[in-house]
Every structure is written in structure tokens, then in C-alpha cells.
């Protein structure tokens, strides 16, 4: 009998990185069982049936990836006691720290991570692994690997003939529209250096619709606009670029995987940790940085092939370790 593996994460809303994670789980966890998303609707309370009944229909749960371990807020989806009735594998998660912490939230997370049915924990960077170890004191070791999306097989691309492309990834944010004066100055500099401008709406479904509605705030004459419900179209749109300005973390992750230098416009923990990991802090910036136009010169230096290969190798090894662990535990009934 095929074992059912429940996938717990931010899946179905169309956020680019989370949908890439879902693709990864659906591809790789086939070797361990039959993976499927656990939540039934994409709004709270996320379930039509009683959650205990939903939990009973699975043999194991994989929670992750993304910034799911939030020290100041806890989701009604991710850290439910019902999942702990089965073996739980926490994979590729990050810990954002910019919002501070609330002790009662950390205590709830600690109770979950210390449960004996939590069999495996991996984080997306050493900083997140250290935070989980120190603050949650889980009963199993916490390992880490680079963002697991690096393990995905990305569609092949080739640089288009003619002008190189500068990609610009914007996003919808509460309280918008954002101020794109610094981005416009950077694009002006890029055009003088021979780039043409491509704006990429890096989302599908509801997230993509919101991002597309906000895209007009970046008003650049003659820009190419890429909007699609196809993840491969969006991914190729990044890979074809000679450089990227990105407000989204997984825009940067995919760019790095292709060797495309990506200037980070939203320098959160995960972006800083990734670039620290591979020695590319030169590419950290900010949406409103006064010197963003000067940073365009950094796009002439690609991401080293050695760094890309190490990211892929380490992420792929972590994914395989997870798959092997789930398969062995579930098949043996442990």
C-alpha cells in the first residue's frame, strides 16, 4: 500500500518560491510515497473537514520550506498538534528575525519541535539552524543546507540575441505603492550600459494577480512585461537576464542558480544569509538605496560556477537525505 505524505506549507496561493517548493516535493517525495497538500482551502481555517480527520488520512507530514518559523506569529496551518499524531519532517525552513519575538509564540514552537514525533529538522541556512537549536531545543539535531530550491532542475535557457536584459522583479506590498525612484535611476544607468529592461511579475494565482496589479507603479517606457501562470515561463524569464533587481527572495535564488547576479532590493535575513554563505554581499542593496544606480556595475561579474555547483550539490544531498529518511521510517512503521 502506498504511504501518504502530507505537505504542509504556503502552497496554492501562487507565491513563486513556495510553488517551486511544492514542485520539488511533488517530484522528489514520489520515491517515498504519495505526496499531497494537506489544506483544503486557501483561507483560514484552511480545512473543511475536522483537522484530526485530515491528519488520520496521512502516514507522515513534511513541513516546509520557507520562513515558517516566525518568532512573533504562529500559523493555524503549519504548527498544529494534529500533525504530531504522525511522524513529522521539518525541511528547509527559515527563521525571520526582523519582527522580534513573543515568548508565548516561541514556547508554542518549542513544544512542537520537542515532540517525539518530530523526526527530522533542517534549516535553510546556519543562522536559522542556530536559532532553532538555541531557542527551541528540539530533541533531534538540526541540520542545514542552502535553500532547497537549488536542488530543482530548472528549464534550459540561452541568452537572447541583441541587448542583454536587466530583469526587475517587483511585488505587491501592503501600504503600497512603493517608490521606484532609485530603481528608475538604476535602469537609466543600465540602459546607458546597453541593457534593455524586463519587468517580471514573479507570481501566479492570487499572489500573481496582486503583483500584476501593483506592477504599473514601476512606470518605465519601453519595458517588456512578463506575466504568466506557468512557473517555467517565469523561471526562464529570470535565466535569460544578464542581471536582476529583485524584491523577491526566490527571484534571487533562481538567478543565482543560473549564474545571474541579482541585486537584492529587500535585504531580509534570508537574502543576507544566502549571500554571506557564498561571499556575494556586494549584491545586497535596497529598494530606496541612494547608490542603487552605482551597484549596476556589480552585474558585470557573474555568480561563480563553483558557488553555484556547491549550492546545488548541498541542497540536492539534503533533499535526498529527507526522502531516504521518510521512505525508511514510513516503510518500516517507525
pLDDT digits (tens, 9 = 90+) for 264-319: 999 999 999 999 999 999 999 999 999 999 999 999 999 999 999 999 999 999 99
Per-residue confidence at 160, pLDDT binned at 50, 70, 90? confident
Confirm whether 243 is domain-assigned.
Answer: yes
Pair 16, 113 in one domain: yes
Confirm whether 13 is domain-assigned.
Answer: yes
Confirm whether 193 is domain-assigned.
Answer: yes
pLDDT digits (tens, 9 = 90+) for 215-269: 999 999 999 999 999 999 999 999 999 999 999 999 999 999 999 999 999 999 9
Pair 234, 106 in one domain: no
Pair 299, 237 in one domain: yes
Confirm whether 107 is domain-assigned.
Answer: yes
The number of angstroms, rounded, from the C-alpha of 198 to the middle of its chain's C-alpha atoms is: 22
Exposure string for 253-282, b = 16+ CB within 10 A, e = fewer: bbbbbbebbbbbbbbebbbebbbebbebee
In this model, does residue 331 exceed pLDDT 80?
A: no
Per-residue confidence at 192, pLDDT binned at 50, 70, 90? very high
CATH number at residue 134: 3.40.50
- Domain range enclosing 184: 165-303
Confirm whether 152 is domain-assigned.
Answer: no
pLDDT digits (tens, 9 = 90+) for 13-53: 999 999 999 999 999 999 999 999 999 999 999 999 999 99
| pLDDT value of position 234 | 98
Q: What is the mean pLDDT of the chain?
A: 96
Pair 328, 288 in one domain: no
Cα 187 to Cα 80, 146, 222, 284, 315: the distances in Å are: 45, 30, 12, 17, 33
Instruction: Give the mean pLDDT of 112-122.
Output: 98
CATH number at residue 243: 3.40.50.2000
Confirm whether 155 is domain-assigned.
Answer: no
| pLDDT value of position 31 | 96
β-bridge mates for residue 36, sequence order: 6
Amino acid at each position: 500500500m502506498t504511504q501518504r505524505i502530507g505537505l504542509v506549507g504556503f502552497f496554492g496561493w501562487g507565491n513563486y518560491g513556495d510553488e517551486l517548493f511544492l514542485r520539488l516535493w511533488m517530484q522528489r517525495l514520489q520515491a517515498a510515497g504519495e505526496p499531497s497538500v494537506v489544506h483544503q482551502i486557501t483561507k483560514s481555517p484552511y480545512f473543511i473537514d475536522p483537522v484530526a480527520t485530515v491528519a488520520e488520512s496521512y502516514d507522515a507530514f513534511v513541513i516546509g520550506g520557507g520562513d515558517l518559523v516566525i518568532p512573533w506569529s504562529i500559523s493555524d496551518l503549519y504548527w498544529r498538534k494534529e500533525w504530531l499524531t504522525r511522524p513529522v519532517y521539518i525541511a528547509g525552513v527559515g527563521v525571520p528575525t526582523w519582527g522580534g519575538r513573543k515568548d508565548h509564540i516561541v514556547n508554542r514552537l518549542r513544544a512542537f519541535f520537542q515532540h517525539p514525533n518530530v523526526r527530522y529538522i533542517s534549516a535553510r541556512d546556519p543562522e536559522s539552524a542556530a536559532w532553532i537549536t538555541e531557542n527551541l531545543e528540539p530533541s533531534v539535531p538540526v541540520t542545514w543546507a542552502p535553500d532547497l530550491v537549488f536542488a530543482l532542475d530548472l528549464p534550459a535557457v540561452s541568452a537572447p540575441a541583441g541587448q542583454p536584459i536587466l530583469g526587475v522583479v517587483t511585488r505587491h506590498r501592503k501600504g503600497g505603492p512603493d517608490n521606484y525612484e532609485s530603481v528608475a535611476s538604476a535602469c537609466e544607468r543600465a540602459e546607458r550600459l546597453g541593457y534593455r529592461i524586463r519587468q517580471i511579475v514573479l507570481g501566479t494565482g492570487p499572489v500573481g494577480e496582486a503583483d500584476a496589479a501593483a506592477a504599473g507603479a514601476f512606470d518605465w517606457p519601453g519595458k517588456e512585461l512578463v506575466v504568466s501562470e506557468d512557473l517555467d515561463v517565469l523561471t526562464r524569464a529570470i535565466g535569460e537576464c544578464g542581471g536582476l533587481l529583485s524584491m523577491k527572495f526566490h527571484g534571487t535564488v533562481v538567478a543565482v542558480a543560473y549564474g545571474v547576479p541579482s541585486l537584492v532590493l529587500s535585504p531580509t535575513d534570508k537574502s543576507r544569509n544566502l549571500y554571506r554563505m557564498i561571499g556575494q554581499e556586494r549584491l545586497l542593496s535596497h529598494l530606496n538605496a541612494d547608490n542603487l544606480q552605482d551597484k549596476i556595475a556589480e552585474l558585470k561579474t557573474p555568480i561563480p560556477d563553483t558557488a553555484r555547483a556547491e549550492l546545488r550539490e548541498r541542497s540536492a544531498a539534503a533533499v535526498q537525505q529527507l526522502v531516504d529518511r521518510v521512505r525508511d521510517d514510513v516503510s518500516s512503521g517507525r
